[in-house]
A and B are shown apart, each in its own frame.
Chain A
Amino acid sequence: AQSVTQLGSHVSVSEGALVLLRCNYSSSVPPYLFWYVQYPNQGLQLLLKYTSAATLVKGINGFEAEFKKSETSFHLTKPSAHMSDAAEYFCAVGGNNNDMRFGAGTRLTVKP
């Protein structure tokens, strides 16, 4: 079965600092990987997706993620954090039967 593991349930950075949110996947087939963001009291919004076209994927709001098969990782980064980036971030893997499995989430706090 496919799954993702997010390392760190809570990440705190200063405004302007690098954001790094970690995600490792487990999959027996080439995975489809996604990052979603959830703002308080809202649904999940797609940040970016990996579907094997390119290993470095650029998403919205300045985020990007790099697929590394050798490390089974799909970490999310942003060079410079903004206060508005504070949210919950979920890594997810697309399943074989149109299901999607989410990681436990990482809460990002941005300090002024």
Chain B
Amino acid sequence: EPEVTQTPSHQVTQMGQEVILRCVPISNHLYFYWYRQILGQKVEFLVSFYNNEISEKSEIFDDQFSVERPDGSNFTLKIRSTKLEDSAMYFCASSGPGGSNQPQHFGDGTRLSIL
């Protein structure tokens, strides 16, 4: 069964540095998402992406965050100047045509640790 893959599985970065988290969504999916889960807390929506542009973003997704689909397969989340509170698991997800009535398929996440 097709999977969403995320790399790296664990990223350690110094505070203030830029970090890029990478995702390869399922190949025929059209909608792409990023979520964040701080340790012990709930999964929080960050952003959705469709047709090469952001379709929805939460209040968490401020100017330090950006997303990009640089080619036909990758979907990246960039955090420009990391802060200690950015430490969390970041999950990428994708879904097929139909939008919000379609289930999202999640990757196994990238654990981001900011020192």
Q: Which of A41, A43, A49 contacts B106 (CB 8 A)?
A: A43
Q: Mark A85-109, 1 if CB is under 8 A from B, else 0.
A: 0000010001111111111110000
Contacts A97-B56, A99-B56, A99-B58 given; does A90 touch B42 at CB 8 Å: yes
Count of chain A to chain B residue pairs whose CB atoms are closer than 8 Å in the complex:
65
Chain A: interface residue count, which band? 20 to 34
CB pair A43 B101 closer than 8 Å: no
Contact B100 A103, beta carbon cutoff 8 Å = no
In the bound assembly, the distance between CA atoms of A45 and B1 in angstroms comes to 13
B108 contacts partner chain A, Cβ-Cβ < 8 Å: yes
Q: Is the interface of B mostly helix, strand, loop or mixed?
A: strand
- Chain A neighbourhood of B76, CB < 8 A: none
CA distance A70 to B24 in the complex (A): 40
Is A34's beta carbon under 8 Å from chain B? yes
Interface residues of B (CB under 8 A from A): 4, 31, 33, 35, 41-45, 48, 50, 55-56, 58, 91, 93, 95, 99-101, 103-109
A residues engaging B (CB < 8 A)? 32, 34, 36, 41-46, 49, 51, 90, 94-105
- A–B Cβ pairs within 8 angstroms, 8 of them: A43-B107, A44-B43, A94-B101, A95-B56, A97-B100, A98-B31, A99-B58, A102-B43
